Chain A
């Protein structure tokens, strides 16, 4: 069935460090891929998305590339800030008549000054 596996957390980095959070997925059809961010006490905010193979989603310095051959969508940022501290969720939509989002378990990122 559909699933998303993302890197276990928590991840703790110093400010200006490089960030990678790995994400792989299992899906039937041609899903769209998403990264959502959740700040403490808040709902989910869409960070970036990609809708087809080799697309690169980017926003606020974060990037992720849709890799169909490896079924991956790894999140990267070259230089993290304290304000990036949050929980990050990788997700995919099933495509076709499958409308739901399937999420990974989330990765807690803490950035220290």
Chain B
């Protein structure tokens, strides 16, 4: 049983560019959350998707947007990249009725 998978593993972009990160949830899970983890910090909640809609959002600007597909996979899009967007981006999945979130290995984004 595959766990949560994310792609790509690493990504290097320059300021002002746009990036798309992808996540496939654990089998049987229908809810996907995204977190940003800056170096030396705990993960910060970006948003959560359920039934292809954004259900809850953290304190992140509109440059951060997402999407969930009918197969429950998800994308995180970041526009107009800033140096401060450099971080590990983690995807987590869960069943809607559960509160235990399973994390993927993350995508390391570097903005130059």
A and B physically associate: yes
- Which residues of chain A have a CB within 8 Å of any CB of chain B? 4, 32, 34, 36, 42-46, 49, 51, 89, 91, 93, 95, 97-106
Find A99's partner among B35, B41, B56, B102 (CB 8 Å cutoff).
B56
Residues of B within 8 A of A104 (CB): 42
- Which residues of chain B have a CB within 8 Å of any CB of chain A? 4, 31, 33, 35, 40-45, 48, 55-56, 58, 90, 92, 99-106
Complex CA–CA separation, A44 to B55 (angstroms): 23
* Majority-rule SS of A interface residues: strand
Complex CA–CA separation, A43 to B26 (angstroms): 14
Q: Can you name the residue of chain B whose Cβ is closest to the Cβ of A44?
A: B103
Q: Can you name the residue of chain A whose Cβ is closest to the Cβ of B42?
A: A103
Residues of B within 8 A of A98 (CB): 56
